[in-house]
Structure 1
Amino acid sequence: MLDKITQRDRQQIKKSTTHQKKKLDYSQINTCDKIIELTNEQVHAALISLITIDKQNRTVASRKRRRNKSIENVNKKHKQIYHEIILSNTNQPETIVLATSALNTQQMKQIKKFVLLFNCRLLLLDDKTIFNHTITHLITDEIGQNDSLICTLTKNVVCAIAQHCFILSYRWIIECLKQNTIINEEQYEIEGDNIISTKHNGPRRSRLSKRPLLPLNHFIMIKGDNRHFLDFTNTELGDIAWLAGGIYIEQNRFPNTVFPRQCFLLIEDEDIRNKNMFHRCIDKGLKFLRSEWLIRSIVEYRMANIVQYHCDPFDTIDRSE
């Protein structure tokens, strides 16, 4: 066994090893078969270096263990998927993820009460987060009296229909709180809206079909500087085109395919300024449609009439000439 090394011995060993490094003759070490004689100072220096390396390894391992333990504690303390999701007791199974549309402050208080009581999640949507694929129920307002089941049409409602979610009246929340249990949703499912139609049953049709609305051969390009129907931006409109099953094209050219394709350019009339280019594209089979065509098709969950939403800003000019 080695004797205990004092601080003074360590300093002397350090000085001697530094001096020894300068005078070390590597020519004396030819092969591993020969015996290499080491001085006492060199032995002490080698042992000290081994002790130092062992301490460093143990220090790194302990740091990793402490870091992993702290991460686990943080995850247990703040267990949530999204930074804006309000969670209740995380020990119970989670099945319902809620989002809201056009609700007032008092109604939102009841929503949070529902979340805490039935161990659900609430995703608070903002301008940057229109919708999320984890949401199962969209709770919206109800316009009119006598259980009309007509809601205010918003971007969130459109996205929820495209993703086959339950679109429910706020009355469902109230009845669940009254009965202290989660009741059947179907009798509270929204049937219409205040813009497209008061009774189109698009939410139910989408939820039951579970199939994309647009065929696979529908290629959609979106252009224009102006806001589209319901104040959708180009990017947001492209997202719901993907959700509806269409192929969203971000480039300025539609790809060639071996199968027949339908090419649509969603644009508003005021954004079409080049008359010659417009007619050349029409001759090649490109269809210019207002964005309302896509949104109406999703809301009703059936293909809207293309002719009704065809863009032709030069039609009135040509007739006047």
Structure 2
Amino acid sequence: RDGNKPIVFSVTCLERYQSDIVDEFLRKFSSRVAQTTSINSQTTHLITNDDKHTLRSPLSMKLIEAIANHCFCVSYRWLIDCIKYDRIVDESAYEIEGDDTDYHSQGGPKRSRSIDKRQSLFENICFMIKCTENNEIKMTNDRLQDLITTCGGRIITCVTQGLLDQFEIVVLCDKLYVSERRHNYDQCRSLGIHFVSSDWVLESILEYRPKSFSLYEETPL
């Protein structure tokens, strides 16, 4: 990493005492470090809490947004060592391998960070968002849309032959949505349109590679 490049970081899932470490880090390196409340294209680092499981972060919307934006996702212990050694130390030893559920394969943050072609995860996919919002991780449909476009996907409101010829079409929805449209579900499937839950987007980003659609398919009741 370029040693002189400014560090713009955001934090997620920190305990009170860890937030105090963040404040000390900001004071000590104030000339080249800044903090933002949300993740955006300027953010370079996400600081998280890996006390429960070393180099694994609790699952949060910010973790997903940070991976989508190719940020360096690191343990708060990186800050402790920067303060201790009085310089910005190399962060690769502190890089988070993934979230702390045992559900996802690891290495997504690093895969995202080291990819040559930025914002290309969903580059050949068009999405229609028809799902209800996920309050569990505070994911509104606006944030879902931002994640998709950050990863190179397109948002569409209707399917045309031209789009079908050029792109993979994914409808993000729930079981109720496909059940209410049972009459043309089979026809849409035969055209190659995928009906999947929004978890497909989140988990593809977490691992930073497209997951198999079949695991997330929504079928009529």
Scaled to the shorter chain, the TM-score interval is: 0.7 to 0.9
Q: How many residues align?
A: 214
Given candidates 193, 208, 220, the residue that maps to 1:301 is 208
Q: Which protein has the bigger strand share? A: 2
CA displacement at 1:216 relative to structure 2: 3.0
Distance 1:308 1:242 in 2: 23
1:139 aligns with 2:67: no
Where does the alignment leave 5 or more consecutive residues of structure 1 unmatched? 1-92, 126-130, 315-321
2:83 is matched with 177
Match of 1:217 in 2: 124
> Aligned equivalents of 2:25 and 2:161: distance in 1?
49
Find the aligned partners of 2:207 and 2:168 in 1 and give their Cα distance: 21
Instruction: Determine the structure 2 residue equivalent to 1:124.
Output: 37
> Residue by residue, what CA displacement relative to the aligned partner does 1:276-300 show, whole Å, maximum 9, x if unpaired?
1333322332110111111111111
Bigger proportion of residues as helix: 1
Structure 2 equivalent of residue 248 of structure 1: 155
Q: Between 255-264 and 158-167, report the one with greater CA deviation.
A: 255-264
Contact kept in structure 1, 2:8 and 2:44, CA below 8 Å:
yes
Compare 266-275 and 103-112 and name the one that shifted more: 266-275
Q: How far did 1:308 drift? A: 0.9
TM-score (norm 1): 0.61
CA contact (8 A) 1:191 1:203 kept: yes
After alignment, is 269-278 or 113-122 more displaced? 269-278
Equivalences for residues 1-321 of structure 1 within 5 A: 95-119=6-30, 120-125=33-38, 131-144=39-52, 148-195=54-101, 197=103, 200-211=106-117, 212-227=119-134, 230-249=137-156, 251-254=157-160, 256-257=162-163, 260-272=166-178, 273-314=180-221
How far apart, in 1, do the equivalents of 2:158 and 2:165 lie? 20
Cα deviation per residue 1:216-265 (whole Å; 9 max; x = unaligned)?
3211111133427734222111110111111122x234572495321000
TM-score norm. by structure 2 comes to 0.87
Aligned in 2, Cα 1:284/1:199: closer, same or farther, shift over 3 Å? closer
Cα deviation, 1:42-75, whole Å, max 9, x if unaligned, reads: xxxxxxxxxxxxxxxxxxxxxxxxxxxxxxxxxx
Larger relative contact order (CA 8 Å, sep ≥ 6): 2
What secondary structure does 1:256 align onto?
Answer: helix
More deviation in 93-102 or 196-205?
196-205
Deviation readout 1:170-211 (Å, 9 max, x if unpaired): 110111111111100000000121236465111011101142
Superposed CA RMSD: 2.2
Instruction: Please state whether the residue corresponding to 2:128 is helix, strand or coil.
Output: strand
Q: 1:141 to 1:114 in 2, by over 3 A?
A: same
Is this contact kept in 1: 2:9–2:34, CA < 8 A?
Answer: yes
Change (3 A) 1:164 1:265: same
Distance in 1 of aligned mates of 2:97 and 2:159:
39
Which whole-Å CA distance do the structure 1 matches of 2:34 and 2:160 have between them?
41
Structure number with bigger Rg = 1
